[in-house]
Amino acid sequence: MPDLYAYTDGACSGNPGPGGWGVLMIAKEGSKIIKTKNLSGGTAETTNNQMELTAAIMALEALAKPSKITLITDSSYVKDGITKWIFGWKKNGWKTAAKKPVKNEELWKRLELATELHDVSWEWIKGHAGHFENEQADELARNGMEPFKS
Amino acid sequence: MDTETIKYYDKSAESYLDKVCNTYPDSDLLSFINSIKSGGTVLDLGCGPGNSSAMMQSAGLNVQASDCSQKMVDIAKNKFNVDAIKAEFKELSEIDLYDGVWANFSLLHAPRSEMLSNLKKINRSLKKKGYLHIGLKIGNGEKRDTLGRQYTYYQPKELKSLLISAGFTINTIRLDMDGAISMTGMIEPFMIVTAYA
């Protein structure tokens, strides 16, 4: 079985404003890349965090069968949210520690549902720091946003 | 509609059912269902054997369905108890009726010259702010695949401007440029676009 990696990124012009998301999927055997897949998309009125979340959701929803996958995001919001904060939110009935409603609840629920079908390891890397795959995901996200820019 | 395409679907309706039939809605169908108010009325345009209609019905939606292939319509009615009729896209004459229209890889069988008018008819059939899901293959021109089905391919920009001309506001676009393996064994890029009337 090849190892699967998904580099995800979101982009938003204005916050809120038109936005896009991008996913670069890579299947590797050892250090050899055997397949890559590019996914992208966008919407007219969104936020950067929503697009980061959507990118992760789309990466996992694109998997045809339950898989072991490493998901690499430059959004600490996504990584910390899904690996730490979400447990508290669920316990508090989707309220933050400050008793405010959790933003993007629907997207978090969809992401959680998608993670339950797979064995996901989460990694964070710094964005715009010259990581080749992250730059590609960023470009895909910008392409996804393009049709929605006025 | 292209008669050879209809002939293919009539001939292969039974086996097509085995190929496309999911028990659970995929993420696109789930998003569509979640975008429609509970108990809303939807149209499955180009419903094939009706398995998507059946899943929408289980989710509590009021489903009407149409397809150009009589055999497909028969399966949808008999196997899934779907309110399906044999009709071409251009026969769609409903006004202000649907909360949603699901046109998943169906409109690509109509010629490009009819697309704008088909989209306008869909827009007219939807209530204000009604929701459209459309899936198409990405590419150029019109051609027949090795199974005999006639296809029209679109570029994302072209579909976007057609939808806007037909009165829609685009909600989301998703592009899968590396595509999925189609029934001919070819890997074909596709796009999923959602829009509001």
- Please determine, for residue B183, whether its predicted confidence score (pLDDT) is greater than 80: no
| First-to-last C-alpha distance (Å) of chain B | 25
Confidence of residue B80 (pLDDT cuts 50, 70, 90): very high
The residue with tokens 């979640």 is: B34
State how far the Cα of B53 lies from the Cα of B109, in Å rounded to an integer.
19
The answer to whether residue A97 scores a pLDDT higher than 90 is no
- The interface predicted TM-score (ipTM) is 0.74
Query: A-side interface with B, Cβ within 8 Å?
Result: 36-44, 58, 61-62, 114, 143-144, 147-148
Report residue B14's pLDDT band, with 50, 70 and 90 as the boundaries: confident
Q: Which residues of A81-103 are buried (b: 16+ CB within 10 A; e: fewer)?
A: bbeeebeebeeeeeeeeeeeebe
Q: What value does the mean pLDDT of chain B take?
A: 93
How many Å apart are CA A70 and CA A60, to the nearest integer? 10
Q: A50-68, pLDDT tens digit by residue? A: 999 999 999 999 998 899 9
Contacts of A143 in chain B (CB under 8 A): 175
The pLDDT value given to residue A150: 74
Q: Residue B117 corresponds to which tokens in the numbers above?
A: 């008018």
As a whole number of angstroms, the distance between CA A69 and CA A118 comes to 7
Q: Which pLDDT score, from 0 to 100, does residue B155 have?
A: 94
**Distance from the A127 Cα atom to the nearest Cα atom in chain B, whole angstroms:** 23
Task: Please write the tens of the pLDDT for every residue from B85-139.
Answer: 999 999 999 999 999 999 999 999 999 999 999 999 999 999 999 999 999 999 9
B27, B173, B178 ranked by CB distance to A41: nearest: B173
Give residue A120's pLDDT band: very low, low, confident or very high (50, 70, 90): very high
CB-based contact B178:A35 (threshold 8 Å)? no
| Beta strands B83-86; A32-46: pairing state | unpaired
Mean pLDDT over each residue of chain A, to the nearest integer: 94
Q: Tell me, what's the pLDDT at B52?
A: 95
Position B27 pLDDT exceeds 90: no
Predicted pLDDT of residue B1:
83
Q: In the prediction, which pLDDT does A29 show?
A: 92
The rounded distance, in Å, linking the Cα atoms of B114 and B101 is 18
Superfamily of domain B3-190: Vaccinia Virus protein VP39 (3.40.50.150)
The pLDDT, as a whole number, for residue B99 is 98
Separation CA A89–CA A79 (nearest Å) = 15
Interatomic CA distance for residues A60 and A106, integer angstroms: 16
> What is the biggest distance separating any 2 CA atoms in chain B, rounded to whole angstroms?
41
For chain A, state the CA radius of gyration. 15
Q: What is the pLDDT of residue A33?
A: 93
Q: What is the pLDDT of residue A101?
A: 95
Residue B23: pLDDT above 90?
A: no
Domain map of chain A by residue range? 3-79+110-148
Average pLDDT over residues B29-34: 94
Is pLDDT at B187 greater than 80 in this prediction? no
**How far apart are the C-alpha atoms of A122 and A113, rounded to whole Å?**
15
CA distance B38 to B126: 16
Say how far apart CA A136 and CA B82 lie, in whole Å.
Answer: 44
Q: With a cut of 80, say whether residue B30 has pLDDT above it.
A: yes
pTM recorded for the entire structure = 0.85
Give the active site residue among A41, A74, A81, A144: A74
Choice between A12 and B178, residue whose per-residue pLDDT is larger: A12
A118 tagged catalytic: no
Report the gap between the CA of B194 and the closest CA in chain A (Å): 9
Which pLDDT score is estimated for B36?
97
Is the peptide bond between A101 and the residue preceding it cis, with omega within 30 degrees of 0?
no
Superfamily of domain A3-79+110-148: Ribonuclease H-like superfamily/Ribonuclease H (3.30.420.10)
